[in-house]
Structure 1
């Protein structure tokens, strides 16, 4: 069966038919450290809107400096590919499209966690730039 958004690896498929609830380019140090990218395209879905099927997943803290934090990085138990971020509070699941097998058909709508104090130049692509998530973002209730 075909889904609106599909990703994963050869062993685990992830998919969603609902629209994302947030879609941003992240400038935070945690994303930089985990992905090795200067910025990271991050897409949030409501927890129940993104499903994973297939093999076993390994879970590790997303933020090594906050191992008890709510987000876990899920990787394929067989090949080690990153699959998704899973919220232990069951509010969201997140993907990084270019690292988690998704197509680029869901462009980021703004920049999050940009800190001018880092010395990095401000984004110039015309999308809004915020020091956190967009001001109108509301965390969904846990499932």
Structure 2
């Protein structure tokens, strides 16, 4: 069966038939250190909207090494070590990073830039998308599921 969005690795698959509730290009230092990318395309899904077929095959590690008790965990496949998703211990969101987590190139482009500030040491993005110092101002964290 085909889903609107599908990702994961050969052993653990994620999917959603719902659009992300937030889809941004992240400039935060945690994403930079975790991915090694200058910026990271990040999509938030409501926690219940992004399904995982084999949660028992996931190893969970803190997303933010400086805040190991924070809400986000990186979920790695125990068989191949692939990064499958980020999971929120509070069950508000699940996060996909399309270019790392097995999504195809048709995944919608990020609609804005998040967590940019002048201390980053590079010019403010000027690709026509809004640029914010955090998440977009109208973003509301979902109620835990």
What TM-score, normalized to structure 2?
0.97
Q: Distance in 1 between matches of 2:18 and 2:91?
A: 16
Q: Which residue of 1 aligns with 2:21?
A: 21
Partner Cα distance (2:3, 2:120) in 1 = 39
- Deviation at 1:89? 0.2
CA distance in 2, matches of 1:115, 1:7: 31
Structure 1: state its 5+ residue gaps.
none
Residue deviations 1:30-86, cap 9 Å, x none?
000000000000000000000111360000000000000000000101000000000
Shift of 1:106: 1.2
Tell me what 1:110 maps to.
112
Q: Aligned pair count?
A: 143
Distance 1:102 1:86 in 2: 17
**Matching residue within 127, 137, 140 for 2:139:** 137
Match of 2:53 in 1: 53
Whole-angstrom distance in 1 between the partners of 2:13 and 2:102: 9
- Cα deviation, residue 118, structure 1: 2.0
SS in 1 for 2:31: helix
Runs of 4+ in structure 1 displaced over 4 angstroms? none
Q: Does 1:119 align with 2:121?
A: yes
- 1:93 alignment counterpart: 94
Deviations 1:76-99 (A, max 9, x none): 010000000000000000010000
Q: TM-score, length-normalised on structure 1?
A: 0.98
Which stretch has the larger CA shift, 129-138 or 98-107? Answer: 98-107
Query: CA offsets, 1:5-42, max 9 Å, x none?
Result: 00110000100001110000000000000000000000
Moved more, 118-127 or 16-25: 118-127
